[in-house]
Amino acid sequence: MAFSFDNLPLEITCPKCDKQIKETVRWFKADGRKCPFCNQPFETTGFRRGMDEATKRTNEMLLNLQKSLGSLKIKIDV
15 part of the interface to Zn ion, by CB under 5 A? no
Rank residues 1 and 38 by Cβ distance to Zn ion and give the closer one. 38
Residue selected from 1, 4, 8, 17 as contacting Zn ion according to rule CB under 5 A:
17
The CA distance from 3 to 11, in Å, is 21
The CA distance from 77 to 36, in Å, is 29
Which residues fall within 8 angstroms of residue 2, CB to CB, at 6 or more apart? Answer: 59
CB of 15 to Zn ion, least distance (A): 8
Rank residues 16 and 57 by Cβ distance to Zn ion and give the closer one. 16
Rank residues 38 and 61 by Cβ distance to Zn ion and give the closer one. 38
Residue 11 contacts residue 19 (beta carbons within 8 Å): no
